Chains A and B, each alone.
Chain A
Amino acid sequence: MRAFRAQVAAEVRMTLERGETLLVTIGIPAFLLVFFSLVHVLPTGKGKPVDFLAPGVLALAVMSTAMVSLGIATGFERSYGVLKRLGATPLGRPRLLGAKISAVLAVEVAQVVVLAAIALGLGWRPHPAAGLAVLAELLATVAFGGIGLAMAGSLRAEINLAAANALYIVLLLIGGVVFPLGKLGGFATFARLLPAGALTQALHPTLGQGAAPGVEAWAVLAGWAVLAPLLAALTFSWE
């Protein structure tokens, strides 16, 4: 237990000490939230922009930590021989993986607190019965974590870095984070099958009206949550 706690603490601390990680996990989501809430240029519909943007950036937060931050860090740890070296200690792979998951969840909690506080300050009023949103975020964490680790475990660290950041931008644009999926034209059908699109489709009704998301969003999220970690487990090379 001592090893696990120390590893979680080390993972969280390293995550929070990386400037570029803070930029994608807190900086960019917070900036998008504030900027587009105050500057009404996005086609977010009749309501307040923040009501659309807040669920979007909460989805972006999960994506940035579980996929981008976890994936990039793990990719570099792999290339620096850290994962290999840890394999020769009593820590073991299950505890290392458990520590990484715990660290991701801890950072996500911090992100939700910060971003929700900013959104509330901007006039966001989420529906109080939003329990399903937590479930959607957890499923998405598993899905995005699987994608991040699948890339980290098979690509060279520098390519993984570029790919994870590129994926972040693409999913930011077509994941229903800042542009509603309905405004994406031909992209919309494709976008709904991606984990980012499914997550925002789940978060909007739950946080907006306290309504249950459609079956399609759950099915897509669950599918990614099973397939992505499975792919990572099958393809991950430790050195």
Chain B
Amino acid sequence: MAAIEVDKLRVRYGQRTAVDGISFTVEPGEVVALLGPNGAGKTTTVETLEGYRLPDEGEVRVLGLDPHAEHSRLVGEIGVVLQRGGVYPVMSGARALKLFASYYDSPRPPAELLSLLGLEEVADTPFKRLSGGEQQRLLLALALVGRPSVCFLDEPTAGVDPAGRVVVRDVVASCREEGVAVLLTSHELDEVERMADRVVIIDHGKVRAAGTAGELAGGQEVRFSVEGTLPLGRIEESLGAKVLAEGSSYRLQGVTDPAVAARLTALLAEEGVTLTDLRVGRERLEDVFLRLVAGEEP
């Protein structure tokens, strides 16, 4: 049984459809990222899994339970980082962790979590006086205090400095090793690529692509820029590939063989067109994301 199951989930706010038929699963010990721009439906999806919202259509299950109807059975098993806030502003990290620990049957010791998240030196500082990154790390510590089997982390690295990000990544990695299912959201590609085993790219409430970063990147590609006008027809004909204009550069669609680059160079030389940039390599997740989300229909 998957730890998290989302099947054709649809959530509406009045007339607006925030989540429009999303399906995915997360297995125990797997880190899955929902990636998408603001307003894509990431938080709505996560909050439905946390039991805050009801699906209008479709079904969600966490550890086989209905997160809304069976909320009280589920809350002891999940750890949550909300998109925003969640701690008494006057309360220090040490006090907040001790209080949250009292809610659970066998909590992780607060001191252990303060050390794990690198918060020992600010343990007695009120939440409102912590830096953005420290606040975020404390919220993560609070999510882990109940030894959850499933973690929902909504933007866990938002506002976190580079050193803090390393800590957050390490903690997520240790969750994976302990068999915790982690669902996180982000609009930062870099973080997602580093943390997640699988990525679900969503936009306007729909899944646009899903897979590992490697699968999504889809192998080799050839990208180039030229000075002057490109003899488009000639190139497409002799290389047998479609040339796509992307901003100021071009991409050979469907070409994964780097040898094509050599033929392209020769061709352009024959035509007297100056090549200003040529890149052969793996498409980065960022390119996939931009291609899917920034207008171009797949």
CA distance A18 to B89 in the complex (A): 12
> Is A123 at the interface (CB under 8 A from chain B)?
no
Asked if residues A90 and B146 are in contact (CB atoms below 8 Å), the reply is: yes
> Is A109 at the interface (CB under 8 A from chain B)?
no
> Is A41 at the interface (CB under 8 A from chain B)?
no
Asked if residues B146 and A14 are in contact (CB atoms below 8 Å), the reply is: no
Chain B positions within 8 Å of A85 at CB level: 80, 82, 85-87, 142
Asked if residues B75 and A6 are in contact (CB atoms below 8 Å), the reply is: no
CA distance A81 to B82 in the complex (A): 8
Chain A positions within 8 Å of B99 at CB level: 6-7, 10
CA distance A81 to B80 in the complex (A): 12
CA distance A7 to B102 in the complex (A): 9
Instruction: Kindly identify which residue among A5, A17, A87 contacts B52, using a CB–CB cutoff of 8 Å.
Output: A87
Chain A positions within 8 Å of B86 at CB level: 80-82, 84-85
Closest partner residue, chain A, to B101 (CB atom): A6
Chain A positions within 8 Å of B146 at CB level: 89-90
Asked if residues A90 and B85 are in contact (CB atoms below 8 Å), the reply is: no
Contact with B along A1-12 (1 / 0, CB 8 A): 011011100100
Asked if residues B88 and A14 are in contact (CB atoms below 8 Å), the reply is: yes
Asked if residues B90 and A84 are in contact (CB atoms below 8 Å), the reply is: no
Asked if residues A80 and B85 are in contact (CB atoms below 8 Å), the reply is: yes
CA distance A89 to B98 in the complex (A): 14
8 A Cβ contacts from B61-79 to A: 72, 75-76, 78
Chain A positions within 8 Å of B98 at CB level: 6
| Main SS class of interface, B | loop
Asked if residues A90 and B87 are in contact (CB atoms below 8 Å), the reply is: no
Asked if residues B90 and A10 are in contact (CB atoms below 8 Å), the reply is: no
B interface, how many residues as a size bin?
20 to 34
Asked if residues B103 and A84 are in contact (CB atoms below 8 Å), the reply is: no
Closest partner residue, chain B, to A80 (CB atom): B85
Chain B positions within 8 Å of A82 at CB level: 85-88
> Is A23 at the interface (CB under 8 A from chain B)?
no
Residues A84 and B88 in contact in the complex (CB < 8 Å), given A3-B103, A89-B103, A92-B75: no
Asked if residues B52 and A84 are in contact (CB atoms below 8 Å), the reply is: yes
Q: Kindly provide the distance from the CB of A7 to the nearest chain B CB, expressed in whole angstroms.
A: 7
CA distance A87 to B90 in the complex (A): 20
Asked if residues B90 and A17 are in contact (CB atoms below 8 Å), the reply is: yes
Chain A positions within 8 Å of B102 at CB level: 2-3, 5-7
CA distance A2 to B84 in the complex (A): 28
> Is B91 at the interface (CB under 8 A from chain A)?
yes
Closest partner residue, chain B, to A9 (CB atom): B99
CA distance A239 to B95 in the complex (A): 23
Asked if residues A90 and B104 are in contact (CB atoms below 8 Å), the reply is: yes
8 A Cβ contacts from B25-52 to A: 50-52
Chain A positions within 8 Å of B78 at CB level: 88
Q: Kindly provide the distance from the CB of B67 to the nearest chain A CB, expressed in whole angstroms.
A: 10
Closest partner residue, chain B, to A4 (CB atom): B102
Q: Kindly provide the distance from the CB of B74 to the nearest chain A CB, expressed in whole angstroms.
A: 9
> Is B250 at the interface (CB under 8 A from chain A)?
no
8 A Cβ contacts from A48-103 to B: 76-77, 80-82, 84-85, 87-92
Asked if residues B85 and A88 are in contact (CB atoms below 8 Å), the reply is: no
8 A Cβ contacts from A199-222 to B: none
CA distance A190 to B1 in the complex (A): 64
CA distance A82 to B75 in the complex (A): 15
Of B85, B87, B89, B103, the most chain A CB neighbours within 10 A belong to B103
Asked if residues A88 and B75 are in contact (CB atoms below 8 Å), the reply is: yes
CA distance A10 to B99 in the complex (A): 8
Asked if residues B104 and A80 are in contact (CB atoms below 8 Å), the reply is: no
A selection of 7 A-B contacts at a CB cut-off of 8 Å is A7-B102, A14-B88, A80-B86, A80-B89, A87-B52, A89-B75, A90-B103
Known: A85-B82, A88-B52. 7 other contacts (CB 8 A): A10-B95, A14-B91, A17-B90, A80-B85, A84-B86, A89-B75, A90-B76
Instruction: List the 5 shortest-distance A-B pairs measured between CB atoms, nearest first.
Output: A85-B86, A81-B85, A6-B102, A88-B80, A81-B86
